[in-house]
Amino acid sequence: MEPVKRGGLAGLMCEMVQRGAGPYSSRDIVELQDSLGLDHSAGVSSTMASYGAAMPASALPQALSLCAEIVRRPHMPADQLDDALQVSMQELRSVEDEPTQRVMNRLKQLQYGDLSGRPACGNFAGIEAMKIADVRSFFSQWYRPSGAILAIAGQFDWDQVRGECERLLGDWQGSNSAAPKLDVGKSANEHISQDSSQTHIGFSFDAAPFRDPNFYLLRAGVGVLSDGMSSRLFDRVREQRGLCYTVSASTHSLADRGAVFGYAGTTPERAQETLDVTIREIRALADGIDEAELDRWKVRVQSSLIMEQESCSSAVASMLSDWYHRGRVVTAHEIEAIIEALTVQQVVEYWRNHSPKNFRVITLGPKPLDVPTF
C-alpha cells in the first residue's frame, strides 16, 4: 500500500503510532505495557500491520483499551519523526549485515514484484524522503476498521470482552482506500557479489496461495521436502552429503498469489552442488513420494495442532491468518480432516500438474553459480 517512492512507510507508521496515542504519551505506553506485563509485538508484513501482546489474563481489558488508542488515536507527533526515521535507518543497516535476510528480501521482490514484494524495512531512498504528511496521509488511508481484524485467545469471558470491544471500537468508522494495482514479479536470477565465507542461495517459484482449495496438496509436498529431519532436503543435502548446515523450503502467500521460498547456505566450492541437488529434489516430488513420508508429515501437523492449544499466541496468529486469507477461522478439526484425507496419489498428481514454474535464484557470495533451467 506504500506509495512507490516511500518504501518503508508502513514500517515507519507502525513505529509512529506507538509514540503517543489517546491519553498516553510515548513513555506512558511503554510503561503501561511493562506494568501490565504485556509481551508486546508490532510489525509489518507485505499486506498487514499488526499490534499484539501476550499477557496475564487479568491485563486484557487494559491491553484492549491501549491497543484501540494506538490504532485509532495516535498522536503521530512531528517532533518525533526524526527519531522514528532513525529507527528505520538502523533496521535497514542491520539487514545489510545479515546475508540471509538480504538474499530473501531481494528474492521476495523478484518473486512478487518491486512493490508487492517490497521488504517491510523499505529502502534508504524511501526513508530519506519521508515527511510527516506522508505518515498522516497513510494513516488516514489505511488505519480503518474495514479489513481490520481483532483476534483474542485464552482465558476470558466472551460476552464481557465483546462488550468491551463494542465500547472501544464500535464507533470506529471509515473504509480503506482502494487497494493500489499490484505489480508482478519477474522470472530472473541475480547474483550479489560479496567476499563472504558462505555462498547464500535463495530460490523461489510460483505456487498456490493459502486460499486455494488445493493449497494443502502443495503444502504436503513442501512438507515432504522440508519439514523435519527426515525430510528430503535435510536428508539428501545435509545428512547424506554434508553440503550445508541450513537448507529449507516453505510456503508463503499474499492475498491473491503464493510462492514457495527456500534457502541454503554453503561454502563457495560446494555451492553449485548444493543448488543442483536441491533443485533435483524439488523436481523429484513429481516422480513420487512414499506413503511413510506423507504419514510422518500428517503426524507432525496433527501434533502441532494439538500443541498449539498450549500457546495463545500461536492460536491468535492462526486465526488472523485464516481470517485474512480465507475470510473465516478454520478449526483444528477441519484442518485435521483435510490433512487426513490427502493421499499420496493426489499429492504427486498435484505436483505433476503444477510443476514449479518461473524459478528465481539469488546468490550472495564470492562468485555466481550456473542456474539450471527449469
Restricting to residues 93-112, which ones interact with another protein according to CB under 8 A?
A: 93-94, 96-99
What's the closest the beta carbon of residue 226 comes to another protein, in angstroms?
12
**From the CB of 94, what's the least distance to another protein, in Å?**
5
Min dist. Cβ of residue 296 to another protein (A): 5
The H-or-E segment that residue 365 falls in is strand 360-365
Pick the stretch among 225-233, 281-289, 323-331, 335-343 that binds another protein (CB under 8 A): 225-233
- DSSP calls for 157-218: -HHHHHHHHHHHHTT----PPPPPPPP-----EEEEE---SSEEEEEEEEE--TTSTTHHHH
Of the residues 39, 128, 166, 334, which one makes contact with another protein according to CB under 8 A: 39
The torsion angles phi and psi of 343, rounded to 5 degrees, stand at: -115, 160
| Shortest CB 297 distance to another protein, Å | 8
Q: Where are the beta strands (DSSP E) in 199-272?
A: 199-207, 246-253, 258-266
Please give the residues from 343 up to 372 whose contact with another protein meets the rule CB under 8 A.
none
Smallest distance from another protein to CB 181, Å: 33
Nearest approach in angstroms of CB 230 to another protein is 4
The per-residue DSSP string of 328-341 comes to SPPPHHHHHHHHHH
Nearer to another protein, 290 or 349 (CB): 290
Rounded to the nearest angstrom, the gap between the alpha carbon of residue 250 and the centroid of all alpha carbons in its chain is 11
Q: Write out the binding residues for another protein, residues 306-325 only, by CB under 8 A.
A: 306-307, 309-312
Contact between 30 and another protein per CB under 8 A:
yes
Q: To which residue does cell 488516514 refer? A: 140
- Binding to another protein, residues 266-285 (CB under 8 A): 266-267, 270
Give CA separation, 349 vs 250, 281, 301, 355, in Å.
20, 16, 21, 10
Closest CA relative to residue 320, chosen from 328, 308, 312: 328
Neighbours of 172 (CB within 10 A): 14
- Which lies closer to another protein via its Cβ, residue 34 or residue 157? 34
Q: Which of 232, 238, 325, 360 binds another protein (CB under 8 A)?
A: 238
The phi and psi torsions of 184 (rounded to 5 degrees) equal: -120, 160
Residues 44-83 interacting with another protein (rule: CB under 8 A): 54-56, 59, 82-83
In the complex with another protein, which residue's Cβ is closer, 148 or 338? Answer: 338
Binding to another protein in span 290-309, by CB under 8 A: 292, 295-296, 299-300, 302-304, 306-307, 309
Q: What are phi and psi of 362, to 5 degrees?
A: -120, 130
